[in-house]
Amino acid sequence: MSIEQLAETALAMVAAGKGIIAIDESNNTIAKRFAGVGVESTEEHRRAYREMLLTTPGLGEHISGAILYDETIRQSTAAGVPFTKVMMDNGIIPGIKVDKGPQPLAGFPGEVVTEGLDGLRERLKEYYQLGARFAKWRAVINIGEDIPSGSCIEANSHALARYAALCQEQGLVPMVEPEVLMDGSHDIETCYEVTEVVLRSLFDALYQQNVMLEGTILKASMVISGKDCDEQASVEEVAESTLMCLKSTVPAILPGIVFLSGGQSDEDATAHLDAMNRMGPNPWPLSFSYGRAMQSAALKIWSQDLANNVAKAQAMVHERARDNGMAALGKWSKAA
């Protein structure tokens, strides 16, 4: 695929008023989510749940793409229609999570590095054949006493850049996700400093690996107070700090930035995105790639009656998609 085609896909992923739903939880992670609402994590339950999400009427009005898990990209609806066909028929671009998750970084207690580069080229070829047109790799950066170290940041940036280069080689738009975790008692100033260093390292590594930025999407964490910090920053402070950090580190040629919700409440994730877009214009479209903030309310509804609550759960999915789509335009209102 040419850089023009990659750029076209990347721009479609951040089309005005649209964002991405992340339904790429590993089987272990979704088992924990299901356990929280009393649903057994069988393959059929996981398939039915993902079908409920992906067949939501009108989902394509506010959702441009969906990140899938390896199991999910191979699944079909109860009627036998592949999920990827359902998505493409509704204008939703299929994406795929390809990393193997964070593992302890040897020699650096309390820090992790994401694995999954071995055999990635062949996996990307298969995912392209299955219909994927973008991929996602998540790096995890912890804030704590004397961490993150420069070595941890460099190791994760290098892995993200190698992954991104391999994606573009196979015709997939890479979504690069360096998540600075909310866990901890650090203040918003500390989060800003760490996020700035991480993003500078990431874009330097992407440059070193000849990754074409015009065919790349950044999935960013917001600059926010640690969840155990005594002083929680306001919506305006989070928006202002996040924008300042991004403007000082992210090249303007990037097609767009999507945010992860990262443990924020549903409403906070929407309010922060809305505030950033109200402060525009910005150098790039700012949208969302939310998992829990898109799904949690719908999962609770669905879990109460798997067979009969599908329509109710889908109405909640559509409502969350609409709210975040409006926030991506800076036009969200709590009363809407």
Beta strands in 74-157 (DSSP E): 93-97, 102-104, 112-114, 134-141
Which one, of 301, 329, 298, lies nearest residue 23 by Cα?
Answer: 298
DSSP 171: T
- 124-178 pLDDT, tens digit per residue, is 999 999 999 999 999 999 999 999 999 999 999 999 999 999 999 999 999 999 9
Q: What is the pLDDT of residues 227-274, one digit of tens each?
A: 999 999 999 999 999 999 999 999 999 999 999 998 899 999 999 999
Look at residue 334 in the predicted model and tell me its pLDDT. Answer: 78
The one catalytic residue in 51, 111, 177, 179 is: 177
Which of 219, 300, 312, 334 is labelled catalytic?
219
Residue whose C-alpha is closest to residue 53's, from 20, 16, 14:
20
User: Is residue 336's pLDDT more than 50?
Assistant: no
> Is 126 marked active-site?
no
pLDDT score of 160:
98
User: Is 175:289 a contact under the CB 8 Å cutoff?
Assistant: yes
- The pLDDT score that the predictor gives to residue 263 is 86
Q: N- to C-terminal Cα distance for the chain?
A: 41
pLDDT digits 0-9 by tens, 176-234: 999 999 999 999 999 999 999 999 999 999 999 999 999 999 999 999 999 999 999 99
Q: What per-residue confidence (pLDDT) applies to 1? A: 63
Q: Which SS3 state, helix, strand or coil, does residue 198 take?
A: helix
Enter the CATH code of domain 3-327: 3.20.20.70
Residue 240, token pair as written in the block: 């202002």
Is residue 177 part of the annotated active site? The answer reads: yes
Q: How large is the average pLDDT for residues 295-324?
A: 96
For tokens 């390809």, name the residue: 98
Instruction: Say which amino acid occupies 278.
Output: R
